[in-house]
Copies of this chain bind each other. A is one copy, B any other.
Amino acid sequence: MALKQSAALEALTQALKRLPGVGPKSAQRFAYYLLQHDREGAGMLAHALLEATERVRHCVRCNTFTESQLCETCASSRRDPTMLCVVETPSDQLMVEQTLTYSGLYFVLMGRLSPLDGVGPTEIHLERLIERACDGVVREVILATNFTQEGEATAHYIGELLKARGLRVTRLARGVPVGSELEYVDAGTIAHALRDRRAVDD
């Protein structure tokens, strides 16, 4: 005699399971929590979901999420239009912005090459990236995809395409993270840090 829950509760649990990394137990916990302790939050979430799916689209220039044609960064006159930084996701873009050391523009792939998952050049908008990078103003493209296998492969692929078009292509430096002890850094990272060692300035 399996206990039948309310159909609306069941539907809510199923819908919450579509969130990435959320399994049946978590989905049920979320559903119970919202219904028992935060019905106001549930209403707000429903409203936010509808608003966001209706309003949020992609910047026609850099492909990040925005509510207008052009995102604020692309529309800003204070950014250096000769530099283009290629990142996988808007979160990565936020991380680069937080360094407060980059004033160029961006292109957001919204993914990485991953043939096994059916993500090819089209899915990460490479044609648009090439068109964007070859606008005659961009002089340097900084590849800031992740340092994972897929991120590296994506950077390599994009790098080849852009170099063939005469652009200067760079990659974020690999090396020892700030604050870390050599003893706990992997050998591959140390090898890269050795190879890319730099002269100590006065």
Contact = CB atoms under 8 A, between A and B. Distances in A.
Contact of A56 (B9, B51, B93, B100): B9
Interface residues of A, number: 62
Nearest to A18: B41
Interface stretch (A24-32, A141-149, A177-185): A24-32
Contacts of A36: 110-111
Given A3-B93, A6-B67, A35 B52 contact: yes
Contacts of A67: 6-8
A30 B19 contact: yes
A45 B18 contact: yes
A91 interface: yes
B46 A50 contact: yes
Contacts of A121: none
Interface string A100-144: 100100000011000000000000000000000000000000000
A65 to B, nearest CB: 5
B53 A49 contact: no
A43 interface: yes
A38 B4 CA distance: 28
Majority DSSP secondary structure for residues of A touching B: helix
Contacts of A94: 3, 5
Contacts of A52: 6, 8-9, 11-12, 31, 34-35, 42
B30 A56 contact: no
A89 interface: yes
A73 B3 contact: yes
Contact of A55 (B8, B21, B48): B8
Given A12-B52, A43-B53, 6 more contacts: A6-B56, A8-B54, A8-B56, A9-B65, A15-B47, A43-B49
A97 B5 CA distance: 12
A46 B49 contact: yes
